[in-house]
A and B are shown apart, each in its own frame.
Chain A
């Protein structure tokens, strides 16, 4: 079929809004990177342009004077612990719900899934006191536990649907060979679900790395600040300290791991998130 002139025009016309939105997305991010290399004087004189020279001073200041270094470390610890704990809790439950016949498996699944839609903000007040009783308030371990549990329903959901795609015959023949159900779970099902486990773990990792509000509530001392809290702190102080360049540098530090994960796992992340939303 030949394309008419009008069609070609409309193909070009359609690109204009697409390119504008691309600029709207990329320019602020790009500008944040530029800002992190500018001195304060430059930020005021020329907020939206290129820096005259690229200097790393802002990163050094952020890392040393504003404790971004230790908050990066805290964020890493919390993210890692949260992601591992979430898997440890989710894999056996997802397997049991999907593969073992027992009364109430549907009810249990529904309970977990409905927790995805409940506004957890109500639970945060009692959780605050509960963590206090367990001596887990203002503690990275406590925050990691809260994070793990916050993503548990989503993780169970993704893993059950993934495990359902694994052929049953492998488990059956392993059982005939005398493997215990624990062995089947650990040596057969877990490796076979690795793709689903990786997808959900990447998404949990990004979630925990980015998380702000629970950290705001459940952490108190500056030494425990995660990256999001440290950045928020620099931002709220910046109107007095004028440390804008430092603020940009710390934003860049926060976003780089996310960009790297997205660059590597773009397909998994987009697929996981759309599937999560379709059910959630």
Chain B
């Protein structure tokens, strides 16, 4: 049976339109409406919405907390990228190149935190950092560094760096797998040739592995940056709620506080626009910085 054109279009509409309507209502419309909200002052009650033009944006530029939240976000981005990439790269090379028989065991274990709930991760690490019960402080006391013990998450200076470790802990697995996939694609003969040329294992790593898995490294870095900028507030919300004294507020947690705790929905949307703009700029910039001629041997 040959379909008529009309039948084809009806089927196409059946496939695409219901989904696209739902997507428009629950994803596209809220995104654009968020932009629109940022020009209003609104506490949520329907008749108090007031058009204020760019007032929210000038408030944004004069808000002392905003630069802190941006700095905190980028601090997490940079430390996470460095921490995750170094450990994931080491593990990926070790598990693929060094013929370790129990490699699948490590792979399975290291990946598991990736599928744990942020709530579980956050609460577990709150315990690890707990001043009186926690593993960190009791460990420090055991090795004679008791004076380094401190209420990690309650200390304005140390709270933010303390959030890096759980994020790295939870993030290694996925990037380890991505890099392992890249290494697996490098042909054995490339290493063979390098060995014949007298390259030791370090030289092989620097001159063969690293250039050939550059695409995977690039994707990993971009992925860490995007997920951190778009999602770091979740672990912040669970572990510190932005405190102590705003020392760990990131852009997203500050948006949550402004919009859903203090009912400044217009200002919250303005912070959302800022997150959108910053993450787009960052991704574009990174893609430019990380570009590198494709290496083929």
- Residue ranges of A at the interface with B (Cβ–Cβ < 8 Å): 10-11, 14-15, 17-18, 21-22, 24-26, 28-29, 32, 43-44, 47-48, 89-90, 92-93, 95-96, 100, 102, 108, 112, 115, 117-130, 145-146, 149-150, 152, 175-176, 178, 181-182, 185, 206, 209-213, 216-217, 228, 231-232, 235, 247, 251, 254-255, 258-259, 262, 266, 269-270, 273-274, 277-278, 280
Contact of A213 among B20, B100, B234 (CB under 8 A): B234
B30 contacts across to A, CB distance below 8 A: 122-127, 130
* Residues A100 and B15 in contact, CB atoms below 8 Å apart: yes
| CB closest chain-A residue, reference B99 | A11
Main secondary structure of the interface of B (DSSP, over half): helix
B230 contacts across to A, CB distance below 8 A: 117-121
- Residue ranges of B at the interface with A (Cβ–Cβ < 8 Å): 1, 3, 7-8, 11-12, 14-16, 18-20, 22-23, 25-31, 33-35, 37, 44, 87, 90-91, 94-95, 98-100, 106-120, 123-126, 128, 133-135, 138, 169, 172, 174, 177-178, 181, 219-220, 223, 226, 229-230, 233-234, 237-238, 252, 255-256, 259-260, 265, 268-269, 272-273, 275-276, 279, 283
A181 contacts across to B, CB distance below 8 A: 3, 7-8, 11
Could you jot down 14 A-B contacts, CB within 8 Å? A15-B100, A28-B124, A96-B16, A100-B12, A118-B31, A122-B30, A123-B272, A130-B25, A145-B26, A149-B23, A213-B256, A235-B126, A251-B124, A278-B178
CB within 8 Å for A28 and B283 given contacts A89-B19, A125-B259, A149-B26:
no
- Residue pairs across A and B with CB atoms within 8 Å: the count is 230
| CB closest chain-B residue, reference A95 | B15
A150 to B30, CA, bound (A): 12
* Residues B275 and A121 in contact, CB atoms below 8 Å apart: yes
A211 to B120, CA, bound (A): 11
* Residues B16 and A93 in contact, CB atoms below 8 Å apart: yes
A121 to B259, CA, bound (A): 11
A-B CB proximity, top 4 nearest: A122-B272, A210-B117, A123-B30, A96-B15
Contact of A228 among B7, B19, B117 (CB under 8 A): B117
